[in-house]
Structure 1
Amino acid sequence: MNMLEINQLNVWFGRARDRVDAVKSATFDVAQGESFGLVGESGSGKSTILRAITGLAPTWSGIIKVEGQSVPKKRPKAFFKTVQMVFQDPYASLHPRHSVDQVLGETLHLHGFKEIDDRVVKLLDDVGLGQKFRFRYPHQLSGGQRQRVAIARALAPEPKLLLLDEPTSALDVSVQAEILNLLADLRQEHKLTYLMVSHDLSVIGHMCDRLAVMKDGEIVEVMNVTELRALQASHPYSQQLLQASL
């Protein structure tokens, strides 16, 4: 069964002469439990697809299905129990005046969970932080620790699909591998499905089973990671990306 189906997705910004078509006729699916990557240069439409799925890019047409159900223009609350997103910048995605306990506790409360204290502790353990970080504020955390809190917040509603928007690109190189390994472990442990955006082919090669290559808002090729590692791309742009990554 497919966790996510995208069919003829178009996303645009502005109107009439000011209209910019950010995504054009994108079509792909992500199987349950799969990790699927979107790669391409900056401005190719990768992150816009994630934003359309979550409702952060409101002007779109086409079909978005999660677990076989078409996603309406206005997302119901239940949607966010199934789908969560981890953003690129851990500095911007956490409220500077909220402690880690407040960030996680409020998310759990919003989704109707009980035994919030126990769940906060469990979430911190799951992302490798532990209780000592519970009452710290974002300015008291390193970039990697902030991103772990952001991942814990995304896990709080017990979603099935995680959208990962360049989750390590704002971090030091030494920390990037730790976060990627954490995400790989969490996927196995919680039986999650990932849709991951990155411009770094080595990250996609490490994390994903299949990937779509995007150029100027269009998907030019869908390939599996075995083909990626063997440098077996068929589209000239994909070949160019692979050569540049070497």
Structure 2
Amino acid sequence: MSMIEIDGLNVWFGHGPDRVDAVKGAAFTVEPGESFGLVGESGSGKSTILRAITGLAPDWSGRISIGGRALTGHKRDRAFYRQVQMVFQDPYASLHPRHSVDQVLSETLQLHGFRDIDARVVRLLDDVGLGQKFRFRYPHQLSGGQRQRVAIARALAGEPEIVLLDEPTSALDVSVQAEILNLLTDLREEHKLTYLMVSHDLPVIGHMCDRLAVMKDGEIVEVMAVGALRAMQAQHPYSQSLLEASIAPGSRSA
């Protein structure tokens, strides 16, 4: 049974003449323990798929199934949030500026119904490489990488099976990006997590993922194994252009 199954997914914003079709007929599966990437230019629809899964994009049709359970509408119950969590792009915006790290993690643990809060906070901080010295600091007292580690700890608090990663390193300094990607790789193995990761950066996807889907103008144009990506064996012309741009001197896969 696939952990994530997307079939014929359409997502749109607005109605009538103002309607914008952000995702059109997307289909892919993510297997247990797999890391699957969605890559494409800005506006290609990749982050919109994550929003549809989490209920943040209310207008959609098709099939979204999590662990064999089909989702409907845009309301998600507590069981969903125990199974699925998300790490956002901007770690500063996703943390309450007036809540300490301890408050962020303790409140999340309480919402998930855990009782041994103190021990779990300490364990979460250790898991993400921060330790207890960061427990009572506030977001403005942390670097970007440290804030993202707190955001990752918060996502892990409910012991999810699936973590959705929306450009988790793009707001960080280049020197810190590799540290966070390596942390995510280690956590995936340690906690037997399944990842669905969005990025515009092909090298990041190549480092983190087993398979990937390439998106253009709301459509998936190709699904490939990361081995094909590394071997420069993309089939679709758009995928080929992204690959070429990612290795051109001084350029990025936008």
- TM-score when normalising by structure 2: 0.96
Runs (4+) of structure 1 exceeding 6 A deviation are none
Instruction: Provide Cα deviations, 1:103-155, integer angstroms capped at 9, x if missing partner.
Output: 00000000100110100000000000000000000000000000000000000
Question: 2: CA distance between counterparts of 1:105 and 1:57?
Answer: 28
Residue 88 of structure 1: CA displacement? Answer: 0.2
Residue type matched to 2:6 in 1? I
Residue 3 of structure 1: CA displacement? Answer: 0.4
Partner of 1:184: 185
Question: 2: CA distance between counterparts of 1:39 and 1:2?
Answer: 21
Instruction: Provide Cα deviations, 1:42-63, integer angstroms capped at 9, x if missing partner.
Output: 0000100001000011111111
Aligned residues: 246
Residue type matched to 2:69 in 1? Q
**In the alignment, does 2:88 pair up with 1:82?**
no
Q: Which runs of 5+ in 2 are unaligned?
A: 248-254
Partner of 2:208: 207
Partner of 1:16: 16
Instruction: Provide Cα deviations, 1:10-43, integer angstroms capped at 9, x if missing partner.
Output: 0000110110000000000000000000000000
Partner of 2:70: 70
Question: 1: CA distance between counterparts of 2:238 and 2:148?
Answer: 32
Q: Which runs of 5+ in 1 are unaligned?
A: none
**In the alignment, does 2:194 pair up with 1:193?**
yes
Partner of 2:133: 132
Residue 209 of structure 1: CA displacement? Answer: 0.2
Instruction: Provide Cα deviations, 1:58-104, integer angstroms capped at 9, x if missing partner.
Output: 11111100011101222111100000000000110000000000000
Question: 1: CA distance between counterparts of 2:222 and 2:2?
Answer: 19
Question: 2: CA distance between counterparts of 1:7 and 1:112?
Answer: 33
- TM-score when normalising by structure 1: 0.99
Q: Aligned to 1:153, what secondary structure does the other structure show? A: helix
Q: Aligned to 1:2, what secondary structure does the other structure show? A: coil
Question: 1: CA distance between counterparts of 2:4 and 2:92?
Answer: 29
Q: Aligned to 2:78, what secondary structure does the other structure show? A: coil
Question: 2: CA distance between counterparts of 1:52 and 1:29?
Answer: 15
**In the alignment, does 2:65 pair up with 1:44?**
no
Question: 2: CA distance between counterparts of 1:127 and 1:56?
Answer: 27
Partner of 1:223: 224
